[in-house]
Chains A and B, each alone.
Chain A
Amino acid sequence: MADTARDPPPDRTDFHEVEDGEDLFPEPSAATPESQPASLSAVDISTNANGPKQDSFFDDDNEDLFAEATEEVSLDSPERDVLLSDGPSPAITPITPPTSVITPRIGHTHDDMFTHSSFDEIEEEEGGDSFDVHISVSDPEKIGDGMNAYMAYKVTTKTSMSLFKQRDFAVKRRFSDFLGLHSKLASKYLHIGYIVPPAPEKSIVGMTKVKVGKEDQSSNEFVEKRRSALERYLMRTVKHPILLKDPDVLQFLESTELPRAVNTQALSSAGILRMVNKAADAVNKMTIKMNESDAWFEEKQQHFENLDLQLKKLHASVESLVCHRKELSVNTAQFAKSAAMLGNSEDHTALSRALSQLAEVEEKIDQLHQDQANADLYLFSELLGDYVRLIGAVKGVFDHRMKTWQKWQDSQMLLQKKREAEAKLQFTNKPDKLQQAKDEIKELEGKVQQGERDFEQISKTIRKEVSRFEKERVKDFKMIIVKYLESLVQTQQQLIKYWEAFLPEAKAIS
Chain B
Amino acid sequence: QQEGLDDGPDFLSEEDRGPRAVNVDLEMDATLQVDISDALSERDKVKFTVHTKSTLPNFKQNEFSVVRQHEEFIWLHDSFVENEDYAGYIIPPAPPRPDFDASREKLQKLGEGEGSMTKEEFTKMKQELEAEYLAIFKKTVAMHEVFLCRVAAHPILRKDLNFHVFLEYNQDLSVRGKNKKEKLEDFFKNVVKSADGVLVAGVKDVDDFFEHEKTFLLEYHNRVKDASAKCDRMIRSHKNAADDMNRIASSLYTLGTQDSTDLFFFLKLIVSVLVFALKKIEARVAADEDLKLADLLKYYLRESQAAKDLLYRRSRGLVDYENANKALDKARAKNRDVLQAETNQQLCCHKFEKISESAKQELIDFKTRRVAAFRKNLVELAELELKHAKGNLQLLQSCVGVLKGNT
Report whether chain A binds chain B: yes
Give the docked Cα–Cα distance between A500 and B223 (Å).
27
A314-B251, A348-B371, A477-B267 known, 6 other contacts, Cβ within 8 Å = A306-B258, A341-B227, A354-B375, A485-B399, A495-B385, A499-B385
Residues A345 and B233 in contact in the complex (CB < 8 Å), given A496-B390, A503-B383: no
Query: Chain A residues with Cβ under 8 A from B252's Cβ?
Result: 314
Alpha-carbon gap, A331 to B278, bound state (A) = 21
CA distance A32 to B259 in the complex (A): 29
Q: Is A328 interfacial (CB 8 A cutoff)?
A: yes
What's the Cα separation between A502 and B385 when bound, in Å?
11
Q: Is the CB of A327 within 8 A of B240?
A: yes
B255 and A310 within 8 A (CB): yes
CA distance A310 to B249 in the complex (A): 12
User: Which residues on the B side are within 8 Å of A474 (C-beta)?
Assistant: 261, 263-264, 267
Chain A residues with CB under 8 Å of chain B are 303, 306-307, 310-311, 313-314, 317-318, 320-321, 324-325, 327-328, 331-332, 334-335, 337-339, 341-342, 344-348, 350-351, 354-355, 358, 470-471, 474, 477-478, 481-482, 485-486, 488-489, 492-493, 495-496, 499-500, 502-503, 506-507, 509-510
Question: A355 to B231, alpha carbons, bound, how many Å?
Answer: 13
Are A492 and B403 in contact, with the CB atoms below 8 A?
no
Task: Point out the residue from B223, B241, B281 that lies within 8 Å of A321, measured CB to CB.
Answer: B241
Known contacts A470-B261, A486-B400, A334 near B374 by CB under 8 Å: no
Expressed in whole angstroms, the Cα–Cα distance for A430 and B205 within the complex equals: 127
- Beta-carbon contact of A317 and B223 below 8 Å: no
**Do residues A471 and B240 form an inter-chain contact, with CB atoms below 8 A?**
no
Residue of A at shortest CB range from B241?
A324
From residue 263 to 310 of chain B, which have CB atoms closer than 8 A to chain A? 263-264, 267, 270-271, 274, 278, 281
The CA-CA distance from A342 to B370 in the complex, in Å, is 13
* Interface 0/1 of B372-397, CB less than 8 Å to A: 00110011011101100110110011
| Cα distance A303–B260 in the bound complex, in angstroms | 8
Task: Spell out B's residues near A (CB within 8 Å).
Answer: 216, 219-220, 223-224, 226-227, 229-231, 233-234, 236-238, 240-241, 244-245, 247-248, 251-252, 254-255, 258-261, 263-264, 267, 270-271, 274, 278, 281, 367, 370-371, 374-375, 378-379, 381-383, 385-386, 389-390, 392-393, 396-397, 399-400, 403-404
Set B236, B241, B403: member contacting A485, Cβ < 8 A:
B403
Which of A321, A331, A485, A507 is in CB contact (< 8 Å) with B234?
Answer: A331
Q: Point out the residues of chain B lying under 8 angstroms from A338, CB to CB.
A: 223, 226-227, 229-231
**Cβ of A481: which chain B residues have Cβ within 8 Å of it?**
267, 270-271, 274, 403
Closest chain A residue to B379, Cβ basis:
A506
Min Cβ gap B219→A in Å is 5
CB-nearest residue of chain B to A483: B400
The residue that B396 contacts in the complex, of A325, A347, A488, with Cβ under 8 A, is A488
The 5 A-B pairs with the shortest beta carbon distances in the complex, nearest first, are: A328-B237, A321-B244, A509-B375, A506-B378, A314-B251
In the complex, the answer to whether B393 meets A496 with C-beta atoms within 8 Å is yes
Interface contacts (Cβ under 8 Å), in number, total: 159
Contacts of A306 in B (CB 8 A): 258
Q: Which residue of A lies closest to B236 (CB)?
A: A331
Q: How far is the CB of A505 from chain B (nearest CB, A)?
A: 8
A470, B263: Cβ atoms closer than 8 Å = yes
Interface secondary structure of A, over-half rule: helix
Chain A residue nearest in CB terms to B226: A338
- Are A325 and B374 in contact, CB atoms less than 8 angstroms apart? no
Closest to B267 in A: A478
Question: Can you list 23 A-B contacts (CB < 8 A)?
Answer: A303-B259, A307-B258, A314-B248, A317-B247, A321-B244, A321-B245, A324-B241, A328-B238, A335-B234, A338-B229, A345-B216, A351-B370, A358-B378, A481-B274, A482-B400, A485-B399, A492-B389, A492-B390, A499-B386, A500-B386, A506-B382, A509-B371, A509-B374
Q: Which residues of B contact A328 (CB under 8 A)?
A: 234, 237-238, 240-241
Q: Which residue of chain B has the shortest Cβ distance to A314 in the bound complex?
A: B251
**B237:A345 contact, CB within 8 angstroms:** no
| Nearest CB of chain B from residue A480's CB, rounded to whole Å | 11
Q: Given A345-B219, A482-B404, A499–B382 Cβ distance below 8 Å?
A: yes
A324 to B240, CA, bound (A): 7
A11 to B317, CA, bound (A): 95
Q: How far is the CA of A313 from the CA of B253 in the complex (A)?
A: 12
B233 surroundings in chain A (CB, below 8 A): 331, 334-335
B363 to chain A, nearest CB (A): 11
